[in-house]
């Protein structure tokens, strides 16, 4: 497998973080799939590239779990698109995900710092 050029500059998403990012994006208002990709790319300064092969299965999975709901609407450019909206259960899930993520960062940071200290 040869990687496409430029791929190395992007960060691969950690397992399970995509759901959190999608929910976080939708918290600012309903969006369609393309909109979510654009928003994530813009907000990460072009570093995060969400693959459509991961995005759509994730959206459908979130909908099955009841964390997002969807409806068909006209976009501002008059294109019919499917808009996803975060539900109450989704918001609750997001809070849980975020707190777990922060805990994770903290633990990881401790471990990495401790390792640094040992080496020094």
Partner 1 sequence: MSWLPKWFEWRKDELDEEIRAHIAMDIANRMDRGETQDQAEAEARREFGNVALVRDVTEGVWRWRRLERFTAHVRYALRVLRRSPGFSITVIATLAVGVGAACAMFTVVDRVLLRPAPFADASRLVEIGESPKGGAAFHESPFLDIQQWQQRSRILEEVAFFRSNSSKVWFLGGNDDAMHVSSASVSANLFPMLGVHPALGRGFAAGDSGGPVAPGDAHTILLSDAAWRTQYGTDAAIVGKTVELNGERDTVIGVMPVGFTFPYEGMNATGLPVVWRPIVLTPADALRGHHQAPTYQCLARLRADATLASAMAQMNTIQPSVTATYTEIQDRENAASVNLRRYTDAPVKGNLRMTLVALLAASGLLWLIACLNVTSLMLARATARQREIAVRGALGASRWEIAEQLLMEGLLLSSCASVGAMGLVAGVLKIFQHSLTTQFHLHESLTPNLAMMGVLLLLTVVGTLLTSAWPALGAARASIEPALRQGAPQQGTGRAQRRARSALVVSQIALSLTLLVGCGLLLRTIYALRHVALGFRTEHILVANMTIPSYRYAGSDMTTALYQPLVDRVKRLPGVESATLLTEVPLGKTFQMIFTFDAQGNSASAIRRRALEAQFRAVGPEMQKVFGFQMLRGRFFTPEDTATSQPAIVVNRAFVRAYYGDDGDPGKIIGQSLFGYGKGWPAVVVGVLADERQVNVADPSQPEIEVCLPQITPTSMFYNAAEGRAMDVAVRTDRTPASMIPELRDILRATSPDLASSTFSTMDRIVEDSFGSQNLAAALLEIFGGSALLLCLTGIYGLLAYLVAQRRREMGLRIALGAQQWNVMSLVLAQAAWMLIAGLGAGLAIAWLATAALRPLLYGVKTNDPWSMSAAALVMFLGGLVAALAPARRAARVDPIEALRAE
Note the residues at the interface with partner 1 (CB under 8 A): 32-34, 38, 51-53, 56-57, 60-61, 64, 75, 77, 79-82
Closest distance of CB 80 from partner 1, Å: 6
Contact 73, 81 (CB under 8 A): yes
Q: 13 or 81: whose CB is closer to partner 1? A: 81
Angle value at C-alpha 35, between 32 and 38, nearest 5 degrees: 155
Q: 34 or 104: whose CB is closer to partner 1? A: 34
Report the half-sphere exposure of 118 (CA within 13 A, side-chain side): 6
Secondary structure class of 70 (helix, strand, coil): strand
DSSP state for residue 13 in the 8-state scheme: P
Q: 52 or 113: whose CB is closer to partner 1? A: 52
Closest distance of CB 34 from partner 1, Å: 5
Closest distance of CB 42 from partner 1, Å: 12
Contact 53, 59 (CB under 8 A): no
């Amino acid at each position: 497998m040869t990687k496409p050029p430029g791929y190395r500059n992007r960060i691969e998403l950690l397992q399970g973080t995509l759901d959190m990012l999608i929910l976080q994006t939708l918290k600012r208002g309903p969006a369609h799939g393309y909109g979510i990709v654009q928003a994530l790319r813009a907000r990460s300064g072009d570093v995060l590239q969400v693959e459509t092969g991961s995005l759509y299965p994730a959206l459908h999975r979130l909908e099955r779990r009841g964390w997002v709901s969807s409806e068909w609407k006209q976009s501002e450019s008059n294109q019919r698109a499917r808009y996803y909206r975060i539900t109450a259960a989704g918001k609750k899930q997001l809070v849980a995900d975020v707190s777990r993520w922060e805990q994770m960062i903290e633990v990881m940071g401790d471990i990495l710092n401790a390792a640094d200290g040992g080496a020094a």
